C-alpha cells in the first residue's frame, strides 16, 4: 500500500489512542477525523476518493498525528503501526452514488467490512461500523427502534445499499461472537451539514443548492414523506461516545445478549420529524429564494416515513441531539454560499 500523504509509523509518541477511519475523506468521516484529533487521538485515513474528497481533510496535512492513504478497502488492508480502533465509514452513502455505483457499494459493504474487521482483529482494536437507517427500509413500525428487523426489498434498486449494510451488520456481529472483537454498530439517520457535496443527491444539499441558484427545487412525490434530519456535529458526538463508552457497560458474555449490550446497534439521529415539503419551504424562506417547486415521480422503494427511536442512545450514551433544524440549516446554507 502506498501512503500518498503519510508514512506508516508504529511509534505512538504522545498519542493516547490511534483511530483508523475508512472513508475518512468523506462528509462524515472527515468530521470524525477532526473530532478524534481534537481529543488527542492519532488519526489514519484510508479512502479511495470515489466519493470522498481531499479538500475535506487537506487542512490536516502536515500534522504528525494525521496520515492519509489512498486505499481501496475491498483490497488487502495493512498498517504497520499500532491501531486502537477501526471506524468503518467507507461506502457510497447517498442515493445518487449507490445507484450509480451498485457493485462497488455491495463490495465495500461485504469485502470491505470483512477486511476492515480482519484488520481490527489483527491489531486487537475496537471496531465501529457505520450502518444506516436504510436497514429499516420502508418501515412498517414508526418510529424505528433497533429491535425492528426492517422492511427491505432486496432486489429493488435501493437494495444494493440496504442489503450491503445489513450484511455488514451481520458480519460485524459474527466477528464479535466468534472472534471476540469489541464491536459497535451505529445506525445513522439523515445527516447534513458542511462538507456535503453539492451534487450528492441528498435532499438537504439538493434543496439548498437549487434555492441559492434560483432553480426549481426538485421534490419527489407529493412531499408528504417524512424525514428526521441530524446535524453532523450531533452525529459525531454520538459516534464518539459509542466508540469510547466504558466497556463495563457491555455484557461480559456473548451468550447473555440483550438490548443492554453495547455491541448491539444504536440509532443516532434527531427524532424531530418533518415532511419533505416542510423542509423545502423552510429552505426557500431561509435563503430568500424565488425558486419554485418542481414535482417528480417518487423513486422506487422510497421510504414513506423515517424517524429514530433514540432511547438506547439516551440510556447507554447519555446522548441527545442539540442542534435544531433551523440552526443546522443556517450553518449549512452558509457553507454552500461560500463555495
pLDDT in 10s for each residue of the chain, 339 residues: 334 455 454 445 567 899 999 999 999 999 999 999 999 999 999 999 999 999 999 999 999 999 999 999 999 999 999 999 999 999 999 889 999 999 999 999 999 999 999 999 999 999 999 999 999 999 999 999 999 999 999 999 999 999 999 999 999 999 999 999 999 999 999 999 999 999 899 999 999 999 999 999 999 999 999 999 999 999 999 999 999 997 665 554 445 556 668 999 999 999 999 999 999 999 999 999 999 999 999 999 999 999 999 999 999 999 999 999 999 999 999 999 999
How far apart are alpha carbons 169 and 137 in whole angstroms?
15
Q: What's the confidence (pLDDT) of residue 246? A: 79
Q: What's the confidence (pLDDT) of residue 13? A: 53
User: What string of H, E and C letters represents the secondary structure of 38-96?
Assistant: HCCCEEEEEECCCCCCHHHCHHHCCCCCEEEEECCCCCCCCCCCCCCEEEECCCCCCHH
Residue with cell 476492515: 116
Q: What's the confidence (pLDDT) of residue 259? A: 60
| Domains in the chain, CATH or no CATH each | 18-189+230-269+310-319 (3.40.50.720)
DSSP 297: P
Q: What's the confidence (pLDDT) of residue 15? A: 74
- Burial (0-12, 13-18, 19+ Cβ within 10 Å), 89: buried
Buried b (16+ CB within 10 A) or exposed e, 195-225: bbbeebebbbbbbbbbbbeeeebebeeebeb
CA–CA distances in Å: residue 127 to residues 53, 189, 249, 311: 24, 20, 16, 23
- Active-site annotation holder among 161, 175, 192, 231: 161
How far apart are alpha carbons 311 and 98 in whole angstroms?
30
Whether 161 is a known active-site residue: answer yes
Instruction: Cite the DSSP H helix spans in the chain.
Output: 27-38, 95-100, 102-107, 113-123, 159-179, 203-212, 232-244, 276-287, 311-317, 325-338
Neighbours of 300 (CB within 10 A): 10
Q: What's the confidence (pLDDT) of residue 248? A: 64
How far apart are alpha carbons 300 and 16 in whole angstroms?
47
Q: Decide: pTM greater than 0.75.
A: yes
How far apart are alpha carbons 323 and 76 in whole angstroms?
39
At 139 the three-state DSSP class reads coil
Amino acid at each position: 500500500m502506498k501512503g500518498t500523504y503519510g508514512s506508516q509509523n508504529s511509534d505512538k509518541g504522545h498519542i493516547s489512542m490511534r483511530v483508523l477511519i475508512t472513508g475518512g475523506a468523506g462528509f462524515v468521516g472527515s468530521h470524525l477525523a477532526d473530532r478524534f484529533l481534537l481529543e488527542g487521538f492519532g488519526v489514519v485515513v484510508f479512502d479511495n476518493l470515489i466519493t470522498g474528497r481531499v479538500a475535506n481533510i487537506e487542512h490536516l496535512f502536515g500534522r504528525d498525528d494525521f496520515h492519509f492513504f489512498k486505499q481501496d478497502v475491498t483490497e488487502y488492508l495493512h498498517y504497520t503501526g499500532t491501531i486502537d480502533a477501526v471506524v468503518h465509514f467507507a461506502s457510497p452513502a447517498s442515493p445518487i452514488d449507490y445507484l450509480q455505483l451498485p457493485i462497488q457499494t455491495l463490495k465495500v459493504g461485504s469485502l470491505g467490512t470483512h477486511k476492515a474487521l480482519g484488520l481490527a482483529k489483527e491489531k486487537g482494536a475496537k471496531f465501529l461500523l457505520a450502518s444506516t437507517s436504510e436497514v429499516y427500509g420502508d418501515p412498517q413500525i414508526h418510529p424505528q427502534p433497533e429491535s425492528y428487523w426492517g422492511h427491505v426489498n432486496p432486489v429493488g434498486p435501493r437494495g444494493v445499499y440496504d442489503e450491503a449494510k445489513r450484511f455488514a451488520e451481520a458480519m460485524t456481529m459474527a466477528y464479535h461472537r466468534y472472534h471476540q472483537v469489541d464491536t459497535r454498530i451505529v445506525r445513522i439517520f439523515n445527516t447534513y451539514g458542511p462538507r456535503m457535496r453539492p451534487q450528492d443527491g441528498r435532499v438537504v444539499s439538493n434543496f439548498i443548492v437549487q434555492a441559492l441558484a434560483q432553480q426549481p427545487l426538485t421534490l419527489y412525490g407529493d412531499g408528504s414523506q417524512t424525514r428526521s434530519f441530524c446535524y453532523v456535529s450531533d452525529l459525531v458526538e454520538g459516534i464518539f461516545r459509542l466508540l469510547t463508552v466504558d466497556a463495563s457497560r457491555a455484557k461480559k458474555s456473548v451468550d447473555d445478549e440483550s438490548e443492554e449490550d453495547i455491541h448491539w446497534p444504536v440509532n443516532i439521529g434527531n427524532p424531530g420529524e418533518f415532511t419533505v415539503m416542510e423542509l423545502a419551504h423552510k429552505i426557500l424562506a431561509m435563503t430568500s429564494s424565488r425558486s419554485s417547486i418542481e414535482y417528480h415521480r417518487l423513486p422506487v422503494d422510497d421510504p414513506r416515513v423515517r424517524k429514530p427511536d433514540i432511547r438506547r442512545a439516551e440510556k447507554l450514551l447519555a446522548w441527545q441531539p442539540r442542534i435544531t433544524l433551523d440552526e443546522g440549516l443556517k450553518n449549512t446554507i452558509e457553507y454552500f454560499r461560500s463555495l
